[in-house]
């Protein structure tokens, strides 16, 4: 027997590891227990370690009601009795013994709510049945020995205990209950009985101690929506069974987590968003939610068909362009040309929208002669040479633009160019000291000669009339030679040049003035097709 009990306890302990503690998520609990039932009645008491020890096994089913209360259906089966032999000194056995079965329905009031250790008070209404084990009290050889009787009646069990959750999977419990029995016959001692005529009525009660394991089971439902967490796709948010525990706030058949508009009923095809005007554009994206339109116009219609939705079209019933917010292109000056095609939108005109006063096909804004018809920038050209009469220096004779309308002159020959060339005069301030522009003049002469290498350069030096004539002659030659040597260094062949000094002869200004003398102190470079010597006139001033 003991081995069977041990096996059962081990089995229950192992099974309990698969279950969860009894809470609001695991509302059902199953408990098994073992303990002792103690007698307290007319013929004595074996409470608190009295003899004999009568064992009981029990089971209970509990249902979580709230953080404060559990509903409990409990039952136990065992033996109940007392042995007075040791107390009375009687050599005969003075005792009674019954098989007892009890069942009660009650409630547990939890003193600590939601704790690992939970003390509780118990109370309820129960049924109890006794069945005598030793036989009839007046059977032969048993005179004077109390014997129990079969009896069934109601009882009120009151008690206290505690539950202790060892883990989330199982727990222990201890419970002691005092049974207030509505019957008084099971111990064989009652008013009018043969052996106990002085027994009191209603004095037979009991105390039951039990220790056991609690196994808790049931669905875990964190959000209290009636859908177990293992099947709840939204375990932390109360929802509906038909949507696997997920909410559908707007009741449109699309659960909130998949609903782009969870607070407004819509259509599944639009992920739960409404489309009031049925144009295929959901309301939250529809600029005209009450009027059917097109997606390309943000759900608005285009009444005038100009490609601009009515929501942004300032002229929705008149075809226009986007530049003018859906309105037609205006004609600000009223000349029949719209502003986009009118080159003069603020001034009426008939030539691409601009005025042409003289009718020559040139708009007044571009006509240099707006009051007179013409062909050259709106001006007349009498000789037809492409130069307007107002700019033509020969308005009655056809010419060329580069000659300001006059006939083009014959191009000089190469020889004429050479023989006509004279470089800018090089003026010396005193002695042979050259002016600042000296190097530039020399470079320009050399560049010209490079273009006409067959030409000869004749270099002539001069002085003013101050000083001795012989000294001036020598000074003028030195000046001419300096230019000659500079041109050689600049790349002009020496054989293509001659130089000579002429002193104070051939003055070009009056030596009586300072300015005149400065002009006469000079070197002159001229070209010719043959070598020649400049003749002096021996003229003085």
433-460 pLDDT, tens digit per residue, is 788 899 999 999 999 999 999 999 999 9
Backbone angles phi, psi at 99, to 5 degrees: -80, 135
Res 2 pLDDT > 80: no
Backbone angles phi, psi at 123, to 5 degrees: -165, 155
Bigger pLDDT: 23 vs 171: 171
Percent of the chain with pLDDT over 90: 47
Task: Give pLDDT tens digits for 86-127.
Answer: 454 444 445 678 899 999 999 999 887 666 788 999 999 999
Q: Among 25-39, 150-164, 194-208, whose mean pLDDT is lowest?
A: 194-208
Query: Rounded distance, CA 78 to CA 74, Å?
Result: 14
Assign 146 a pLDDT band (cuts: 50, 70, 90).
low
Res 152 pLDDT > 70: yes
List, in sequence order, every beta strand (DSSP E) within 391-479.
Answer: 426-427, 456-461
Residues in the chain: 541
With CA atoms as reference, report the closest residue to 258 among 232, 276, 233.
233
User: What pLDDT is attached to residue 39?
Assistant: 80
Res 410 pLDDT > 70: no
Res 182 pLDDT > 90: no
Indicate the DSSP class of residue 108. Answer: E
Backbone angles phi, psi at 475, to 5 degrees: -65, -40
Query: Rounded distance, CA 290 to CA 280, Å?
Result: 12
Bigger pLDDT: 203 vs 352: 352
With CA atoms as reference, report the closest residue to 382 among 367, 392, 369.
392
User: What pLDDT is attached to residue 93?
Assistant: 45
Measured in whole angstroms, the distance separating CA 21 from the mean position of its chain's CA atoms is: 44
Res 131 pLDDT > 50: yes
User: What pLDDT is attached to residue 473?
Assistant: 94
SS3 118: strand
> Which conformational region is residue 390 in: left (phi greater than 0), alpha (psi within -120 to 50 degrees), or beta?
alpha
Backbone angles phi, psi at 389, to 5 degrees: -55, -35
In the chain, domain spans: 2-217, 416-528
Assign 393 a pLDDT band (cuts: 50, 70, 90).
confident
With CA atoms as reference, report the closest residue to 499 among 471, 531, 469.
531
CATH number of the domain at 2-217, please? 2.40.160.20
Q: Which residues pair with 96 in a beta bridge?
A: 82
Asked whether the beta carbons of 242 and 217 are under 8 A apart, the reply is no
From residue 174, alpha-carbon distances to 31, 213, 354 in Å are 11, 9, 111
Q: Among 4-8, 440-444, 525-529, whose mean pLDDT is lowest?
A: 4-8
User: What pLDDT is attached to residue 36?
Assistant: 87
Burial of 396 (0-12, 13-18, 19+ CB in 10 A): exposed
Query: Rounded distance, CA 165 to CA 87, Å?
Result: 42
User: What pLDDT is attached to residue 143?
Assistant: 42
Superfamily of segment(s) 416-528: OmpA-like domain (3.30.1330.60)
pTM for this prediction: 0.40
> Which conformational region is residue 425 in: left (phi greater than 0), alpha (psi within -120 to 50 degrees), or beta?
beta
């Amino acid at each position: 027997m003991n081995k069977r009990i041990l096996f059962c306890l081990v089995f229950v302990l192992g099974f309990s590891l698969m279950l969860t503690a009894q809470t609001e998520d695991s509302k059902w609990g199953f408990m098994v227990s073992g303990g002792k039932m103690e007698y307290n009645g007319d013929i004595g008491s074996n409470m608190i370690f009295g003899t004999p020890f009568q064992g009981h096994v029990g089971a209970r089913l509990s249902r979580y009601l709230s953080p404060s209360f559990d509903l409990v259906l409990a039952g136990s089966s065992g033996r109940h009795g007392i042995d007075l032999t040791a107390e009375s000194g009687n050599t005969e056995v003075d005792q009674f013994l019954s098989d007892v079965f009890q069942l009660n329905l009650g409630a547990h009031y939890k003193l600590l709510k939601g704790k690992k250790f939970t003390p509780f008070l118990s109370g309820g209404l129960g049924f109890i049945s006794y069945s005598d084990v030793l036989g009839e009290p007046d059977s032969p050889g048993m005179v004077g020995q109390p014997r129990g009787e079969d009896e069934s009646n109601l009882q009120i069990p009151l008690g206290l205990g505690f539950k202790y959750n060892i883990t989330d999977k199982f727990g222990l419990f201890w419970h002691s209950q005092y049974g207030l029995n509505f019957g008084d016959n099971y111990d064989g001692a009652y008013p009018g009985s043969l052996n106990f005529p002085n027994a009191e009525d209603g004095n037979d009660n009991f105390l039951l101690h039990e220790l056991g394991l609690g196994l808790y089971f049931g669905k875990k439902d964190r959000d209290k929506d009636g859908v177990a967490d293992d099947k709840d796709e939204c375990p932390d948010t109360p929802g509906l069974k038909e949507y696997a525990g997920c909410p559908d706030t707007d009741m449109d058949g699309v659960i909130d987590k998949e609903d782009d508009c969870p607070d407004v009923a819509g259509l599944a095809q639009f992920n739960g968003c409404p489309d009031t005007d049925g144009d295929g554009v959901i309301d939250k994206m529809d600029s005209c939610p009450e009027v059917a339109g097109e997606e390309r116009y943000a759900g608005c219609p285009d009444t005038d068909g100009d490609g601009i939705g009515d929501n942004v079209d300032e002229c929705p019933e008149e075809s226009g362009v986007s530049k003018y917010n859906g309105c037609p292109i205006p004609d600000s000056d009223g000349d029949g040309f719209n502003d986009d095609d009118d080159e003069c939108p603020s001034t009426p005109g008939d030539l691409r929208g601009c005025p042409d006063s003289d009718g020559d096909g040139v708009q007044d804004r571009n006509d240099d002669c707006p009051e007179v018809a013409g062909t050259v920038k709106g001006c007349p050209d009498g000789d037809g040479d492409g130069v307007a009469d107002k700019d033509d220096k020969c308005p009655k004779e056809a010419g060329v633009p580069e000659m300001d309308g006059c006939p083009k002159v014959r191009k000089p020959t190469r020889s004429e160019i050479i023989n006509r060339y004279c470089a800018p005069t090089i003026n010396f301030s005193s002695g042979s000291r050259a002016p600042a522009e000296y190097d530039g003049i020399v470079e320009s002469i050399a560049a010209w000669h490079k273009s006409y290498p067959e030409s000869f350069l004749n270099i002539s030096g001069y002085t003013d009339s101050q000083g001795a004539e012989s000294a001036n002659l020598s000074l003028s030659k030195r000046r001419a030679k300096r230019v000659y040597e500079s041109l050689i260094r600049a790349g002009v062949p020496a054989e293509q040049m001659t130089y000579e000094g002429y002193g104070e002869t051939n003055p070009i200004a009056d030596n009586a003035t300072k300015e005149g003398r400065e002009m006469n102190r000079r070197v002159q470079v001229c070209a010719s097709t043959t070598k020649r010597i400049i003749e002096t006139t021996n003229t003085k001033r």
